[in-house]
Chain A
Amino acid sequence: MATLPLDIVRVREQPGLTIVERPYMVVGIPDVGLAGTIAATFIVRKLQLPISAEILDDRLPPIALLRRGLPYSPYAIYGNGNPFVLAPETVIPASLIRPFIRGVIIWALSRGVRSIYALGGIADANRPNVKEPKVFGVVSSSQGLGLLEEHGIRVIPDGYLVGPYAVLVHEARNYGIHVVVLLAQAYYNVPDPAAAAALLKVLSSMTRLEIDVGELIEQGEKIRLAARTLMRRAAAELERMKKTHELEAPPSLYV
């Protein structure tokens, strides 16, 4: 029986890319409170990671990110595997999430990545009363549960996950790659650097990444101001992908 070709985006790698042994990847896609994006961008900036690959597709918005006069895709992967960081500078259209995530996973696997840490936010009405946001975890396989337990991260036992990370955990199972999704309590559509800092603290304890997050707190106002336009675009996309579904309980809990 003939099978349809798999719909994936194209990943263009920078020539001469050298990769460390046992590489891993951190993903920060614009989401609730931009917690993951702020965290991922902070890693890129603090470690001064160069672009290692760009995601290209005719269906992505026609945007070129200009850096010192040169054009790049706003959907870029940085670093040499210690870690690789996927830090899109704009939102991923809801209709392209599946091919986008598949393309990234396939590229990551081809470069030896076996673990992906996805960083994001989880909307919490109680967030204004919380000084240090808590971090929760979702994993793609039962082996990951032990890792969360080891680091004292509470698993989200029941509920829904909506958006790119929902696709990521599903596809990870198809490709045999381990995904740990870390979600910090965050404001829904206000950039949340404190949530980003909470994510990075947990990430540091889980990986060999050492990063001082003090600046994220100190520069909180500046970061929130700089991220407002992206937050608006992300909030519109969250509406499109029915992100508020995450606040609902699954039907099995009613009975």
Chain B
Amino acid sequence: MSENLRRMLRKLLHEIHQFAEYAEEALDRLEEEVDRLMERAFLREAEAIAHGEAIEPLYNVLVQPDEVRILVDMPFVDERSIRISAHKNMIEVYGEARRPFHLSEISERLTGVCRCYRAAIDLPVDVDTRSTTLRLIAEGLVEIRVKRVRIQRPA
């Protein structure tokens, strides 16, 4: 192997090594950022709870070939008060509690009163905003179904 080729290989290996180090550092930074954002989300909710504001329900988004199914968990919600507003790729959900309940009923360390639920749920696909349906699964657990927008292919 010529000296020139050897030198080029050494340089290449050095650059690969540098890139690997850079990638590892970038991944570490990304992981830290994700953790920080998640922690901030938990804090925001805790703050909202402390002020007796609406709390964000847990939800699950399932994308199927023809429709999107969204399961929203709102314990103690008054089902007659549930309002849904569909946008191109987002669903907003609002529901009032059957009775305002003190969060201290759940944990002595929580304060505040929950009066309602509110969520703005981003969808990974576009939906037909006029096709929304709502179904009660169990007390406080609802399923929203909305049809996906069909993309017309040119003939």
A interface residues with partner B (beta carbon < 8 Å):
125, 128, 187-191, 194, 220-222, 224-226, 228-229, 231-232, 236
Question: Do B42 and A224 touch (CB < 8 A)?
Answer: no
B interface residues with partner A (beta carbon < 8 Å):
38, 42, 58-60, 62, 64, 69, 71, 73, 75-76, 105-107, 135, 137-141, 143
Q: How far is the CA of A224 from the CA of B60 in the complex (A)?
A: 14
Question: Do B76 and A128 touch (CB < 8 A)?
Answer: no
Question: Do A226 and B60 touch (CB < 8 A)?
Answer: no
Further contacts, 6 of them, CB under 8 A, given A224-B75, A229-B42: A128-B135, A187-B73, A190-B58, A190-B59, A220-B138, A226-B107
Most chain A Cβ neighbours within 10 Å, of B38, B62, B64, B106:
B106
The dominant DSSP class at the B interface is: strand
**Residues from chain B with Cβ under 8 Å of A236 in the complex:** 38
**Residues from chain A with Cβ under 8 Å of B42 in the complex:** 229, 232
- Quick one: given A190-B58, A236-B38, are A221 and B139 in contact (CB under 8 Å)? yes
**Residues from chain A with Cβ under 8 Å of B75 in the complex:** 221-222, 224-225
Total A-B residue contacts, Cβ distance less than 8 Å: 49
Most chain A Cβ neighbours within 10 Å, of B60, B107, B137, B139:
B60
Question: Do B106 and A187 touch (CB < 8 A)?
Answer: no
**Residues from chain A with Cβ under 8 Å of B138 in the complex:** 194, 220
**Residues from chain A with Cβ under 8 Å of B105 in the complex:** 222
Measured between C-beta atoms, what is the minimum distance from B82 to chain A in Å? 15
List, sorted by A's number, 29 A–B pairs whose CB atoms are closer than 8 Å. Answer: A125-B62, A125-B64, A125-B69, A128-B71, A128-B137, A128-B141, A128-B143, A187-B60, A187-B73, A189-B58, A190-B59, A190-B60, A190-B73, A191-B58, A191-B73, A194-B138, A221-B76, A221-B139, A221-B140, A222-B105, A222-B106, A224-B73, A224-B75, A224-B140, A224-B141, A226-B106, A231-B58, A232-B42, A232-B58
Question: Do A187 and B76 touch (CB < 8 A)?
Answer: no
**Residues from chain A with Cβ under 8 Å of B59 in the complex:** 190
Question: Do A228 and B71 touch (CB < 8 A)?
Answer: no
Measured between C-beta atoms, what is the minimum distance from B91 to chain A in Å? 16
Question: Do B58 and A220 touch (CB < 8 A)?
Answer: no
**Residues from chain A with Cβ under 8 Å of B140 in the complex:** 221, 224
Task: Name the residue on B nearest A188 (C-beta).
Answer: B60
Task: Name the residue on B nearest A226 (C-beta).
Answer: B106
Q: How far is the CA of A125 from the CA of B75 in the complex (A)?
A: 21
**Residues from chain A with Cβ under 8 Å of B137 in the complex:** 128
**Residues from chain A with Cβ under 8 Å of B69 in the complex:** 125, 128
Question: Do B71 and A187 touch (CB < 8 A)?
Answer: yes
Question: Do B60 and A225 touch (CB < 8 A)?
Answer: no
Measured between C-beta atoms, what is the minimum distance from B30 to chain A in Å? 13
Task: Name the residue on A nearest B109 (C-beta).
Answer: A66
From B38, B62, B76, B143, contact of A225 by CB (8 A): B76
Question: Do A190 and B38 touch (CB < 8 A)?
Answer: no
Most chain A Cβ neighbours within 10 Å, of B59, B64, B137:
B137
**Residues from chain B with Cβ under 8 Å of A221 in the complex:** 75-76, 139-140
**Residues from chain A with Cβ under 8 Å of B141 in the complex:** 128, 190, 224
Q: How far is the CA of A144 from the CA of B131 in the complex (A)?
A: 48
Measured between C-beta atoms, what is the minimum distance from A230 to chain B in Å? 11
Q: How far is the CA of A142 from the CA of B6 in the complex (A)?
A: 57
Closest 9 pairs between A and B when the two form their complex, measured CB to CB = A221-B75, A225-B75, A190-B73, A226-B106, A128-B137, A224-B75, A221-B140, A128-B143, A190-B58
